[in-house]
Each structure stands twice: as structure tokens, then as C-alpha cells.
Chains A and B, each alone.
Chain A
């Protein structure tokens, strides 16, 4: 047993947690902004996939990873705008439109990928991001190599958390976002445009989901496959609830999920042969469900979540 534990808690374990948490953190923050403004975005799974495809294609043909990241962010923002058009401007059902956006984006991603790259026996790949050690900080024992010898996108995710909290809690725009998610009529009577604020929040959310997608193809797998997202978007939706719609708690939730995911990967590798590997694969999801059941019972969603706002009602 001790051999197993050694295998599990080796040096790279902490680094793996951080890497797994990064796309989840982006996606969770994106979903959080959207929901804080009162718009559930079930399109997240598809948006991440389409963004991953766009990011991969951009990087593949331009030869620049950052062009790829930009393409992914643009694709995410665009699909966010599509979701906002349906749910905010037209006031349609957020559930239905979100699922529609996921189906549409996924289909579009498959279609475009086939169109561009055709059917190949070995899928094309790119040379992904390389770790960028931060001087001095990366020399700290244990923590240094794990946290400060990472991809730039990881550092961006770490910075995105306090930035999101600052925007949400300290700026007029963030207050507007929270207000339109709690009581849009109050925001409206204070002269705030509910539609513009919600639209912006959903687009920002989509852009963050795009970043999450770009990380998957440019830092994690370095190739695009149809299973590249594999449920991470759905997990992010749960993590937002688990994190009670707060940037810090949501990021914490992403870390916890990443910890269990990293753990199950190690357990698989440790070769406990008599347990089928699928059982380990389930672990993080089981954790999500259990954690949701226990920790989220008194979590209170933004009051106006799922409620479209119309001005002249009579």
C-alpha cells in the first residue's frame, strides 16, 4: 500500500492538480459571471468544444499559439453572444437555448474540423505551450516547481480569480451584474440597462469558456479530438453552485475537483489491477454529486436566475 501512496503523492502530483484545475477555473468563472447576471448558460459544454476547435485550427495554421488562444476566446465570446441574443434580447427559455447552443456548437465543431482537416488516421497535432518558470518563485521547494513552473495560461487562471472578485465586488459594472441577477427591476429603475449588462456578462462568460477550451488543446492534449471537453463544461456548472456563485469559492471547488481527478489518474497508474479503471474515472464525478448534495443545500442562487426581463409589462 505504501508503494501506491508513494506513486500517488510524488512531486508532480501538485503540478497535475493545478493543470487540471486551470480549464475548470476558467470555465467556472465564465459560468459564474453569466449566472450572476441571471443567465444560466448550458451552452458551456459545446462552447468549450467549439472554442477548442477554433483555437487548435488557429494555432495550427498560424503557427502561433497565442493566435490560437485569441481564436478560441473569440469563438467563445461569439457563442456567448448567440446565447445572450436568445435568452437576454429575445427572452427565450435559458434551459432550452443553452442545450441548443451546446448541440449547435458541438455539431459545428465536428463539421468544421472534418471540413478543414478531413479524415486522417493520425490526427494532426501542434507543439503546445511549454512551462515558463518564474524566476526566484520557482525555486521554492515543492510549491515552486508545482505552481510557478507552469504554462502562461495557468498563471492567467490564477490571476483571473482575484480579478474576477475585484470586478464583481468592487466595480460599478460588477455591482450592475449582481443587481440584474438579483432584481433587474431595481437595476432598471436606477437607470442601468438590464439587457446591456446581461449581454456583456454572458459574452464575458463565453470568452472565459473559450479560454478553458484553448487550454485543453494547446496545453493539455496538443491536438483536437471530439472528446477533448468530455463533460468538463457540465462539471463547471455544478462547481458554480458548489462555489455559491463566488469567484474564490468557485475556484476552490475547481481545485477540489482537480485534486480528486489527479488522484484517480495516479490510482489508475498505480495499477491496482483488480479494480477496473472506469471505477477510478467515476471518482471525481461521484465527488461532485456528493459534495453538491451535502454542501449546496443552503446555497442560494441569484434571485433572478432563469428569469427573462421585459420592460413594459402590463
Chain B
């Protein structure tokens, strides 16, 4: 393996966006048959580096070599010609076109027509070699997320990519799909392809990759030669540059009930409805909501945050009955909310960050008077929160959508925590965040718990729930099928309940 020249070599790559150095003197090489892990926190420069390799950005300095020869990659067509394929985190597919049409885009035809027969033959080859199957005539909209990702990989192989870049490919997959992806990637490496695997799930990196490069603040912070023999903690410390101590969760002394749902049922609402859900959350405790995605967690979060009115049942916040189920009402009763989708129901991405940070309370005295906004107060509030929560951004007037995921989540936390909620509901609070940002969120939750807030955390990450929660409720088909004290809970017991094999429940 070492005698061959690297498939791809990047030497001294630097790239700045205005004052921000996204990459600085980065060296990186991938040999044929090698799976290279590219690690780093959000904003460490992984995606920028890969976009340079794929021709989306031009480096300010440095060179790229393919098979030992320098090349210039000015656009994706050049990258494809150089044998580089990329599976973006957000897929580049046209959902109303078929699998075949998505494959054939940009491929010259035969006699002026699309070469369907030739494509079918190549598709067969790919299926046989790597175990990647898809029905060519299905529209992409009918494919699951996992299948769409498979299509992206097939697309790259179809164009005879020798190096495949995967940007956080497992973030969107269910655990069973991850196994399938890994075996396909191993098959490709065994046939001499090179793979760059970007992730911040350290256990996956340890299981899959042959070698790792860790980026921090745009530079190479370290290299790991045998990931399987390096602990996740060591890698995490390389990524954030300091030691990581897991947050301490002191004993909880729960007090009075601050949020209670009694036999709440909802209508369809485009997802799994709630069926007679009864739940009580006391002050000073964290209740985790576990469950396979789509078992009513979203309806639960929507009811609690006043976005969905139940058909039957009652809800009380801090001892007061919720009547209208509007976001304003539950918020006035003391509810804080960290929404699942930061970009759509969290903030207004095209408005200044400061506006988004006061949006839920825009009508309160603090931010407006006699129908007029108080811009000074709004900006001052945002500045104070940016300072207190260490939100990395150019200032309060920056477009909210320009922030990284971790910083957006900090902004949302800051917005809710500034008003001392009695109850906080957080849906998937650390999804897509790196270790440092996730830890920050967890610490804030625990601090809030110490301040006697009652917290509901909806998450699909069982490790997270086990680390944070005092009690864990498991949802299955719209019901709560079991509530465990976290001392008695384990991944396997939760897993049983989540699959509907609850027994007693």
C-alpha cells in the first residue's frame, strides 16, 4: 500500500473567508485502499477543506496532487475528471426525477440520446462489486434517506471516482443502515478506492478508518495512526485541544410537579399522534424521552410548546391549566423551548441574530413599548447573551443563518435561559453538534436543573439520555410504554421498550 503514490495529496492548503482562516497549511494524503478519517469540531475547517478538493472553493495557497501529479481543480467537473467523488451532507439530488435520471445527469449521451442501456450495465457492475442496489426507475422522493445516500455513492462510482469523500454520512442514518454503509465502504477500500470519512462520531471513526487527521481552528491538530487503538477520549481531546471531563450530575432532589400531562391524545398532525399520554415532570429533575424516531416524540414536543392542541386530556404548567395551547400562553406560564429544527422553527435565518434572540418575547415590555421596538434594548440583550454564552459570531447584527450549528444552539439556549423558565423542553438538543458544543449544552441543562427548573429532553441518542436524565420515559406508537429511573436504565432495557417489546407496559 505504501509503495504506490497517494491517490490524492493536499499540500499546504490555506483558505480564508475575509478575516476567518478556515484552513491554514493543511497537509493530507490518501493512499489507494485507505479509509482516512477527517475529524474536527464544527467550524474546524473540514467541510471547507473538502470543498476545496471538490472544486467548490479555490485555495489561497497550496497544491493538490492526484496520483503524484499536480492538478488544478476549478469546479466540480474538474474534480470528477480527476476521479474525486463527494457525498455531501445535504444530498444533491432532484427528488422529482428518477434514480436513473439523477445518475445520468452530466453524462454525455450516445448518439444524442441518454444512454440508458449502458447505464444499466454500469449499475449492475456497481451492485455486484459493492453490494449497492437501487431500482433505477423509482423517483428519488420514494427513497428513504439511507437509499438516497446510497444513490449519492453510486453516483460517484458511476463517474468512476477513485476517491470518495463522505461528509458526515452517518448523521442521517439509523444504526442498522450504518452497518450497511460501512460494509460497502470497506468493500470499496478493498478494491483499491480511497475514502475520506468526515465525522465527529468517534466510535464510528475508530471502527471504520485506517488513519485519522484531526483539524482544529483550520490547522492539523494531530494525526492518529491506529484509530482502533486510540480511545475516543484521546481523540476528543485532540479535537478540542483541552482535556475533557464528563459533566457531574449531582443527586437530584425533585420538588413539586411543574409540568403535567394527563391522558393527552392528539390528532394526526402529519406524524404519529399521542395516545393518552400521562407524564409528570418535577422541579429540579431532567426527564428524558426515548424512542425510535416517529413514535410521537414530535407531537409531544409540539403539545408542550403550545403548537398543537390536544383532542382530549389536560396539561398544567406550574400548577396552571393550559387552555388555548398557543406558544404565547405556555411561554407566559414559564415554558422555555429548544426546538428540534433550529433553522425552521428556531430562528429566522435571514434576519439579524439579535432579532431572532428576542423573537418569542418581542411583545414584552423589555423589547417594545407602545407598539414600537426598542432596538437599543434588543441589541444590548443580544450582546449580553453572546458574551455570556460565548457565541462565536461577528456581532448581534449578523444574519442568524450564518452561524454554525453549535453557535445557533447556544443562541437558542441563551434566549430561553435568560428568562428563567420553570419548565424547559428540548428536542434533539445536541443533534449535529460536536463534542464541545454538546458538552456545553449538557452543562447548561444540569445548571438549570440545579436552579430547580424541570427539564424534558427528547433525544434519539440513548447515551445522552442516560448521562443526563433522572428518569427516562420511552415512547412507542404514540404512548409512553415505560418510565425508568436512570439508575435502573440501560441501553438494552431502553432498546427493548423502544421496539415495543415492553412486556408489562
Enumerate chain A residues within 8 angstroms of B95, measured Cβ to Cβ. 182-183, 303
Within the complex, the shortest CB–CB distance from A295 to chain B, in Å, comes to 19
The CA-CA distance from A190 to B95 in the complex, in Å, is 15
Q: Smallest distance from the beta carbon of B80 to chain A beta carbons, Å? A: 5
Cβ of A179 within 8 Å of any chain B Cβ, yes or no, is yes
Asked if A274 CB lies within 8 Å of chain B CBs, one says: no
Cβ-defined contact, B97 with A187, below 8 A: no
| Structural contact, A191 and B80, CB atoms closer than 8 A | yes
Separation of A175 and B114 alpha carbons in the complex (Å) = 8
Say yes or no: is A312 at the interface (Cβ < 8 Å to chain B).
Answer: yes
A170 to B105, CA, bound (A): 12
Residue in B56, B81, B92, B109 whose CB lies within 8 Å of A186 = B92
Q: Check if A192 is an interface residue, CB within 8 A of chain B.
A: yes
Contact A179 B105 (CB under 8 A): yes
Could you list which residues of chain A lie within 8 angstroms of chain B, going by C-beta atoms?
170-172, 175-176, 178-179, 182-183, 185-192, 300, 303, 311-312, 314
Secondary structure at the A interface, as helix, strand, loop or mixed, is helix
Chain B, 347-388, CB within 8 A of any chain A CB: none
Q: Which of A171, A175, A185, A311 contacts B92 (CB 8 A)?
A: A185
Q: State whether B96 touches A187 (Cβ < 8 A).
A: no
Output the least CB separation between B120 and chain A (Å): 15
- Asked whether, in the complex, the Cβ of B113 is within 8 Å of the Cβ of A190, the reply is no
Q: What 0/1 pattern do residues 85 to 117 of B give for CB contact below 8 A with A? A: 010100111111100011011111100111000
Determine the chain A residues whose CB is within 8 A of the CB of B102 once the complex forms.
179, 186
CA–CA, A185 and B102, complex, Å = 12
B418 CB, nearest partner CB in chain A, Å: 30
B106 touches A191 (CB 8 A): yes
**Pairwise interchain contact B94-A189, C-beta atoms closer than 8 A:** no
Answer whether A176 and B105 are a contact pair too, CB < 8 Å, given A188-B76, A191-B75. Answer: yes
A172 touches B57 (CB 8 A): no
The size class of the interface chain B forms with chain A is 20 to 34
Report the Cα distance A300→B86, complex, angstroms: 29
Q: Is the CB of A186 within 8 A of B107?
A: no
Asked if A179 contacts B94 (CB within 8 A), the reply is yes
Known: A179-B105, A191-B77, A312-B57. A186 touches B113 (CB 8 A): no
Q: Does residue B155 face the partner (Cβ distance < 8 Å to A)?
A: yes
Give A189 to B113 CA distance when docked, in angstroms: 21
- What 5 pairs between A and B have smallest CB-CB spacing? A191-B77, A182-B94, A190-B106, A186-B92, A172-B109
Given A182-B95, A191-B76, A171-B109 contact (CB < 8 Å): yes
Decide: B114 and A182 in contact? CB cutoff 8 A: no
B-side contacts of A175, CB under 8 Å: 97, 101, 104-105, 114
Q: Is the interface of B mostly helix, strand, loop or mixed?
A: loop
- B107 and A172 within 8 A (CB): yes
Establish whether residues B101 and A178, one from each chain, have CB atoms under 8 Å apart when the complex forms.
yes
Interchain residue pairs with CB less than 8 A apart (15) = A170-B113, A172-B108, A172-B114, A175-B101, A175-B104, A178-B97, A179-B102, A179-B105, A182-B94, A186-B91, A186-B94, A187-B105, A190-B106, A191-B75, A191-B80
Sample of 13 further A-B pairs with CB below 8 A, known A170-B113, A178-B101, A191-B106: A172-B104, A172-B109, A176-B105, A179-B94, A185-B92, A186-B105, A187-B105, A188-B75, A189-B92, A190-B76, A191-B77, A300-B96, A311-B56
Q: Report chain A residues within 8 Å CB of B159.
A: 190
Give the chain B neighbours of A170 by CB distance below 8 A.
113-114
B76 neighbours in A (Cβ, 8 Å): 188-191
Contact A189 B104 (CB under 8 A): no
CB distance from B167 to the nearest CB of A (A): 12
CB distance from A58 to the nearest CB of B (A): 31
A145 to chain B, nearest CB (A): 36
A171–B106 contact, CB under 8 A?
A: no
Please indicate the chain B residues that have their CB under 8 angstroms from the CB of A183 in the complex. Answer: 92-95
The CA-CA distance from A190 to B155 in the complex, in Å, is: 9
Nearest CB of chain B from residue A307's CB, rounded to whole Å: 13
Whole-angstrom distance between the alpha carbons of A94 and B76 in the complex?
27
Residues of B contacting A190 in the complex (Cβ-Cβ under 8 angstroms) = 76, 80, 92, 105-106, 155, 159
A17 CB to closest chain B CB (Å) equals 33
Once the chains bind, are B106 and A192 in contact (CB under 8 Å)? Answer: yes
A284 to B57, CA, bound (A): 52
Q: How far is the CA of A175 from the CA of B107 in the complex (A)?
A: 10
Q: Do B109 and A182 touch across chains, with their CB atoms under 8 A apart?
A: no
Neighbouring A residues of B101 by C-beta, 8 Å? 175, 178-179
A22 to chain B, nearest CB (A): 27
Shortest CB distance B140–A (Å) = 10
CB distance from A166 to the nearest CB of B (A): 8
* C-alpha spacing A314/B105, complex, angstroms: 25
A189 touching B88, Cβ below 8 Å: yes
Interface membership of chain B positions 68-80, coded 1 if the CB is closer than 8 angstroms to chain A and 0 otherwise: 0000000111001
Is B105 touching A192 in the complex (CB atoms < 8 A)?
yes
B residues 37-65 in Cβ contact with A at 8 Å:
54, 56-57
Closest to A174 in B: B114
Chain A positions within 8 Å of B108 at CB level: 172
Residues of B within 8 A of A188 (CB): 75-76, 92
User: Nearest B residue to A187 by beta-carbon distance?
Assistant: B105
Q: How far is the CA of A149 from the CA of B54 in the complex (A)?
A: 57
**Residue from B75, B80, B94 within 8 A of A303 (CB atoms):** B94
Measured in the bound complex, the distance between the Cα atoms of B92 and A188 in whole Å is 9
A300 closest partner in B (C-beta): B96
Least CB separation from B109: chain A residue = A172
Bound Cα distance A145, B56 (Å)? 59
Q: How far is the CA of A190 from the CA of B80 in the complex (A)?
A: 8
Most buried by A among B76, B88, B94, B102: B94
Q: A303 to B155, alpha carbons, bound, how many Å?
A: 21
Provide the residues of chain A in CB contact with B92, threshold 8 Å. Answer: 183, 185-186, 188-190
- Least Cβ distance of B413 to chain A in Å? 25
Q: Which residues of B sit under 8 angstroms from A182, Cβ to Cβ?
A: 94-97
Complex: A179 Cα to B88 Cα, angstroms:
17
